[in-house]
Amino acid sequence: MDINGIEPVGGPVWVAWREGTLTRAKELEALAGWCRSQNPRDQVLAAAIQAHLDAARQAATTRRRVFRTGPLMERSAGNLAAAEAHILNTAPADYVLGQMPSLLRDIQAHLPATDPGRREFERIAHRVGNGLETTAAADDELAGWLKVIDQDRGKIVTAVRAASAAALRERIRLRSFRNIVMGTAIVMTLLAVGVALLGFADRSLIPLCFAPEESGTAVVVCPTAQSDRFTPSQDGGAPSSNAPRQDIDNVVAATAEPGDLLIVELVGLAAATVAGAAAIRRIRGSSERYGLPVALAALKLPTGAITAFLGLLLMRGQFVPGLSALDTSAQILAWALVFGYAQQLFTRLVDQQGQTVLNSIRVPDKPPA
């Protein structure tokens, strides 16, 4: 219900950033109404403020659609920043003077020290005592400060708008990196699923089997099964009484199981999950809304499945000398575990880049060096 003609905030909605948008929009709407009571002649900016606030509310209340959350967040942030800039254009000078410390903090957080707009804003802030000593200032001094605010209001608003635009660009870069990570994770997942399906379609196409030889006989060892001992027909020697002569390719085709590749990938996935859990201790939380740490963790899982498969494939191709003839199925699965955990060697670089991107999102509590 309305209270004294004041519309409700709206909501509740199902996502935190949407709640924050509705709350901030109502706060700016009330502030804009107070500014209109102080300066009722400026109807153009008043209408623009309301239009921006309506757009922000629309973004916050639009039903969630796939791949549209990021644009909606940027729409809400951009319109709220535009409404705040218009309010600074219409607000009384004493209000702007009181906001100078907060505005200076935001500008120093998002604009580099060499930016002309930031340097000009800092010069204006210095002239008005940074807005920190208004209660102790003499009437003449305060009147001079208010005159400076009125004279340089355009420069103040321009610098504030540049800072908000820089903050929005930082978040766009963060969202772009998050999308790249998620896209890579999806591709890796599809690749892992394709490898598993390939094993079910033709179990002898890429068998992860080994054939260690001993005393002229051999045994084929696969991830889930192993053959009886036999004499490879390629050797040309006479078979022993208990080891019939057989072609090694035929034995591999008969011993390999359709689920071998899936088992190897699941073991690599489990190892990657453990590695991701261990990596959480190095991940610092973020107040950003794009969920980059979650995307980085999701990338590790299919990567572990693929590295387990590729690692065993390299071992079967005798790429690693001395490790080309594993003796048991347990050894194969153990190496799949090792290779699955080894994905951390690759994704660690992505984790570092992700933390760098998060660190580039500067906030007032952490001004740039």
Lookup: tokens for 232? 């490879």
Give the pairing type, strands 231-232 and 217-218: unpaired
- Cβ(239)–Cβ(245) under 8 Å? yes
Query: Is residue 145 scored above 70 in pLDDT?
Result: yes
Residues 236, 121, single domain; the answer is: no
Residues 194 and 320 in one domain: yes
- Residue 338 near residue 230 (C-beta atoms within 8 A): no
Phi/psi of residue 294, nearest 5 degrees: -65, -40
The region of weakest confidence among 36-45, 85-94, 250-259 is 36-45
Domain boundary among 123, 152, 173: 173
Q: Which of 122, 157, 173 is the last residue of a domain?
A: 173
Tell me the pTM. Answer: 0.74
Ranked by mean pLDDT, the top range of 190-194, 217-221, 248-252, 360-364 is 190-194
- Considering the domain architecture, whether residues 159 and 24 belong to the same structural domain is answered as yes
3 falls within a domain: no
Strand partners, 232: 246
Q: Is residue 2 assigned to a domain?
A: no
Q: Convert the pLDDT of each residue in 98-108 to its tens digit.
A: 888 889 988 98
Q: What per-residue confidence (pLDDT) applies to 162?
A: 92
Average pLDDT over residues 323-349: 85
What's the pLDDT tens digit per position in 57-79?
Answer: 988 888 766 556 778 888 888 89
Based on the fold, state whether residues 202 and 263 are members of the same structural domain: yes
Q: What's the CA gap between 244 and 219, in Å, rounded?
A: 11
Sorted by sequence, the CB contacts under 8 Å of residue 199 that are 6+ apart come out as 205, 206, 258, 259, 260, 261, 262
Alpha carbons within 13 A on the beta-carbon side of 284: 10
Spatial distance between the Cα atoms of 88 and 39, rounded to a whole number of angstroms: 12
Residue range of the domain that includes 128: 16-173
- Among residues 173, 196, 220, the one where a domain terminates is 173
> Do residues 332 and 342 share a domain?
yes
pLDDT of residue 160: 92
Task: Give yes or no: residues 265 and 358 share one domain.
Answer: yes
User: What domain count does the chain have?
Assistant: 3
Looking at the fold, whether 159 and 224 belong to one and the same domain comes out as no
Mean pLDDT of 17-45: 84
E strand or H helix at 266, and its extent?
helix 260-279
4 within a domain of the structure (yes/no): no
Write down the mean pLDDT value for the chain. 82
Tokens found for residue 100:
């100078």
CB atoms within 10 A of CB 186: 13
